[in-house]
């Protein structure tokens, strides 16, 4: 069955990302791309993640991606968000986010990172008929 990609609005893209169980943060290590799955949430239009790679991300431009693709039905969506990542340093904010975001694994140096979206690109794979 023929398919097409429909562009999603910024608001719809952020809504879908907020409902996804996990996403991926894309950052660089020695000028090479690295990708790590993370727990996340959308709060006031920003993506907040709890991750052990915070030191590598803080102050850098990163990408964040989440999706929900059904390969059998050949349908779903994908959203990529690009922006600057900043550490959440306020103790009260950090405690709040830590209570909501359970990390995948118990790792040292886990931090809360907030991504300030500059570019939000979302697409939905739909039937062309």
pLDDT in tens, 13-45: 999 999 999 999 999 988 899 999 999 999 999
Confidence label for 104 from pLDDT (cuts 50, 70 and 90): confident
Question: Domains of the chain by range and CATH?
Answer: 3-127 (2.30.110.10)
Q: pLDDT tens, 62-103?
A: 999 999 988 887 789 999 999 999 999 999 999 999 999 987
Predicted model pTM? 0.90
3-class secondary structure per residue, the chain: CCEEEEEECHHHHHHHHHHCCCEEEEEEECCEEEEEEEEEEEECCEEEEEECCHHHHCCCEEEEEEEEEECCCCEEEEEEEEEEEEECCCHHHHHHHHHHCCCCCCCCCCEEEEEEEEEEEEEEEEECC
């Amino acid at each position: 069955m023929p398919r097409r990609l429909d562009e999603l609005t910024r608001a719809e893209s952020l809504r879908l990302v907020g409902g996804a169980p996990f996403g991926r943060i894309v950052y660089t290590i020695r000028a090479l791309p690295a990708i790590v799955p993370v727990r996340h949430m959308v709060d006031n239009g920003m993506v907040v993640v709890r991750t052990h790679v915070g030191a590598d991300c803080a102050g850098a431009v990163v990408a964040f991606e989440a999706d929900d693709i059904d390969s059998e039905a050949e349908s779903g969506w994908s959203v990529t968000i690009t922006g600057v990542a900043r550490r959440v340093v306020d103790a009260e904010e950090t405690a709040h986010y830590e209570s909501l975001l359970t990390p995948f694994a118990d790792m040292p140096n886990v931090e809360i990172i907030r991504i300030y979206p500059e570019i939000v690109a979302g697409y939905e794979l739909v039937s062309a008929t």
